[in-house]
Amino acid sequence: MPETHIIIAIIWAVLLGGAGGLLTTIGPWYRNLKKPSWQPPDWLFGPAWTLILGLGAWAAILAWQGATDDVGRRAIIIMYAVNFVCHFLWSPLFFTRRRPDWSLIEVVFLWASVLAMCIGLRQFSVLASWLIVPYFIWVSFAAILNLYIVRLNGPFGEDKARA
């Protein structure tokens, strides 16, 4: 039987990936948004997130194994818990509430949580820190994409959300 930290790392990745998929509705509202020409095709986001979250789970396992005490393990739990909340909030803000402007504010917190993981996991495992780098790059790219969508389509509000 796998150790508890391995199961928790897998659950972290599966819940975030599953929730992101369930909360992302590619419907008329989204299709009618103006998007930059360099936006990746919609089909790429699922595989990208699957890979990124899988690497994040692997990083959690390595960091946990590298932690030598409860203080270190608590720090890992806090980093992953904060990231979970920040990651989870983006899709409902963008797709369910139809507020790319709000998700643009929220993505700053997501970006900071991923940066904290890149830096904070290094003390437990250098490889774990590097495994978070694709997550950091992708969220950085997503933040820029979010900014362009807001610029091309704003302002947002009740009238725009109903369209």
The CB density around residue 35, as the number of other CB atoms within 10 Å, is 13
CA distance 80 to 35: 31
Q: Give the residue-averaged pLDDT of 124-138.
A: 98
Residue 98 or 23, more confident: 98
Give the model's confidence band at 144: pLDDT under 50 very low, under 70 low, under 90 confident, else very high.
very high
Is the pLDDT at 108 greater than 90? The verdict is yes
| pTM of model > 0.85 | yes
Is the pLDDT at 158 greater than 70? The verdict is no
The CB density around residue 34, as the number of other CB atoms within 10 Å, is 9
Nearest C-alpha neighbor of 91 from the set 23, 29, 17: 23
CA distance 45 to 37: 16
Structural domains in the chain? Answer: 4-162 (1.20.1260.100)
Residue 104 buriedness (CB in 10 A; 0-12 / 13-18 / 19+): buried
pLDDT at 24: 75
pLDDT at 23: 72
pLDDT at 160: 53
Nearest C-alpha neighbor of 24 from the set 9, 46, 3: 46
The CB density around residue 47, as the number of other CB atoms within 10 Å, is 9
pLDDT of 14-66, one tens digit each? 888 888 777 777 789 999 999 999 999 989 988 999 999 999 999 999 999 99
Q: DSSP letter for 132, please.
A: T
Lowest-pLDDT range of 103-107, 109-113, 120-124, 152-156: 152-156
Is the pLDDT at 2 greater than 70? The verdict is no
